[in-house]
Amino acid sequence: MSIFAIVFAIFALLIALLYFLEQKNRRHFESKGIPYRGNGTYSFMFNFFTGIGFVDSFTLAYKQAKSLHPKVVGSTEFGITKLLVYDPEIIKSVLVKDFDHFVDRGIFYIPKNDYLFAKMLLTLRGDQWKLLRSKLSPTFTTGKIKRLFSLFDQSGKKLVKFVEDEMRTNNEMDLSSGYSKFAMDVIASAVCAMDSKAFEQREPSIFEKMGDKLRLNFGGKGMLNLLVIMLAPPLAEFLGLSVFNMEMQSFFSFAIKGSIHDRQKKNEKGNDFIQLMLEAREDKLKAEEGELSTFEKDAEIKSVGKASTGNMLDDTGIVANCVLFVLAGFDTTQSLMLYSAYALALNQDVQDKLRKEIETTLEDNGGEFSYESIHKMTYLDMVINETLRVYPPAGLLERTATQDYQVPGTDYLLKKGCAVQIPVAGLHQDAKYFPEPEKFDPERFSMENKAKINQYAYLPFGAGPRNCIGMRFALTEAKLAISHLVHNFRIEPSKKTLIPMKYTNENSLKPQGGMFLALNKIHH
């Protein structure tokens, strides 16, 4: 037998095996009255090779599944059974009412090299997550974020000067560069106790470069790397692969641990997220001396070995959660700011109305922004909410079943270890919940209209106990940046502005080739 014949036989056998597995999966779901949309692994690969963006693929899957008129649709992905949930009532059950069945996010295998990723609140599971969340939640209260507001405002003023300088030599700019510097400057000062030096040079600073290495890119080498980690963990360990760049992990570990040790040596306190976490760690040490709550005692007993809260908030744990802030703040918050500017450029009437509110607020506040004044602007809040609807930074939520779960309204029992996916991007574009979904209309979120919105069809920050812990931080940052920009510039489309918008294949919503806009200085 020739080599060609052997290869052909192996290939044919593989195809037959895959076909058999697909039919088995189809029968598994359809016997319970649930449509089967196929193996998500194939869709994932198809999108990669055809260049379909990550978030675009979620919306496409939503439309395809909705055409079947289901509440849920079955699929498999990388060997895991998954239910795509389209019904807001079931979504409410998963995220809130039956949260005890879905405490864990759908995080894939974490290689040993990703020592920071393993200690992030994002990836922790069960009691470890509950305990750390309870320790970190007080650091995200209104009072704590108000402590950091002056740092946000300083970065906002730097952003204005940067844009002014850029517009002196050109009538358009890629706003991605300005918002990248702003987001990193806020995170560096308010989170990591560092000077980003982002606005001291036109090119990206070292802090920006390291933050950029945090992005999960689903193209080329990044895709192949991720596939090996997801499909063959032992091989990934053997090859020394990691989800996140090792140089980036070393950079942040060295810089942040240095800051921690320096302030401890000098017995100084900072006004930043590191200080808030150090205070949370101090509270933990006091609790260990006899003040643990019943829940905390139980959680500590269940924790295995080094998995206690004390270890999760050791220096590496603090670094990990600072890096989580970089990951979320540099990527998703930047996305919100970019698309807010884009929407305002394409909707001048909205921009004019927002500018009027901002000017009135500044007049009433002595010409300066404050935490209170930023959050009192109702139209600004409406614009932000509509931006998050049309351009959700995260297009999909995923939760893993920690115990068998009878899916409400169906005969289907979701087994422990299987997952639920919630297609945020698709829900946000569904005319059933948002009439004329392609239209940018902040009035959807006016006081009288907001109550009509199904809150489980609008999920930019998730919902329930495992929603985004940094929501207040992100909204404050974004609102301030947009207010500074609209106060100082008229934002308009330029020759390079993407109309309609096209997205990259990154894990969050990013414009292809940058966000080019014309910003004309307003002289007050």
Question: Residues 146-157: what's their mean pLDDT?
Answer: 92
DSSP 8-state class, residue 121: T
pLDDT attached to residue 299 = 46
Torsion of CA 493, 494, 498, 500, to 10 degrees: 40
What is the C-alpha separation between 175 and 162, in angstroms, rounded? 10
Local structure of 247: helix, strand or coil: helix
Confidence tier at 286 by pLDDT (50, 70, 90): low
DSSP string, 145-185: HHHHHHHHHHHHHHHHHHHHHHHTT-S-EEHHHHHHHHHHH
pLDDT attached to residue 98 = 97
pLDDT attached to residue 389 = 96
Question: Residues 115-139: what's their mean pLDDT?
Answer: 87
Please indicate whether residue 460 or residue 305 has the higher confidence score (pLDDT): 460
Q: What is the CATH number of domain 32-521?
A: 1.10.630.10
Per-residue burial over 179-198, b if 16 or more Cβ lie within 10 Å, else e, is bbbbbbbbbbbbbbbbebeb
What is the C-alpha separation between 64 and 38, in angstroms, rounded? 11
Local structure of 522: helix, strand or coil: coil
Give whole-number Cα distances, 110 to 214, 240, 310, 476, 506, in Å. Answer: 15, 12, 21, 32, 19
**Residues 121-126: contacts with CB under 8 Å, at least 24 apart:** 121/321, 121/324, 121/469, 122/324, 122/327, 124/312, 126/302, 126/402
Cβ atoms of 520 and 492 within 8 Å: the answer is: yes
Cβ atoms of 225 and 109 within 8 Å: the answer is: no
Question: Residues 258-270: what's their mean pLDDT?
Answer: 86
- Ordered by start, the domain boundaries in the chain are 1-31, 32-521
**Alpha helix locations (H) across 332-419?**
334-346, 348-364, 371-376, 378-390
Please indicate whether residue 267 or residue 14 has the higher confidence score (pLDDT): 267
pLDDT tens column, 45-60 = 666 555 566 666 777 7
Please state which of the ranges 51-60, 116-125, 310-319, 461-470 shows the lowest mean pLDDT.
Answer: 51-60
Question: Residues 241-266: what's their mean pLDDT?
Answer: 86
Q: 220: how many CB neighbours lie within 10 A of its CB?
A: 10
pLDDT at 308 over 60: no
Residue 446 tokens, joined: 């006016």
CA atoms within 13 A on the CB side of 236: 21
pLDDT at 259 over 70: yes
Residue with tokens 């991007």: 425
What is the C-alpha separation between 332 and 54, in angstroms, rounded? 14
What is the C-alpha separation between 311 and 317, in angstroms, rounded? 7
**Alpha helix locations (H) across 240-314?**
246-266, 273-286, 294-302, 309-312
Please indicate whether residue 448 or residue 67 has the higher confidence score (pLDDT): 448
Please state which of the ranges 301-310, 381-390, 502-511 shows the lowest mean pLDDT.
Answer: 301-310
pLDDT at 393 over 90: no
What is the C-alpha separation between 497 and 338, in angstroms, rounded? 12
Q: 312: how many CB neighbours lie within 10 A of its CB?
A: 26
CA atoms within 13 A on the CB side of 439: 9
pLDDT attached to residue 14 = 67
pLDDT attached to residue 263 = 87
pLDDT at 19 over 50: yes
Chain mean position to CA 203: 25
pLDDT attached to residue 300 = 44
Confidence tier at 306 by pLDDT (50, 70, 90): very low
Confidence tier at 426 by pLDDT (50, 70, 90): very high
What is the amino acid identity at position 300? E
Confidence tier at 42 by pLDDT (50, 70, 90): low
pLDDT at 325 over 90: no
Cβ atoms of 398 and 418 within 8 Å: the answer is: no
> What is the pLDDT of the chain when averaged over all its residues?
85
Please indicate whether residue 171 or residue 444 has the higher confidence score (pLDDT): 444
Confidence tier at 18 by pLDDT (50, 70, 90): low
pLDDT tens column, 484-505 = 999 999 999 999 999 998 887 6
The β-bridge partners of 521 are 489
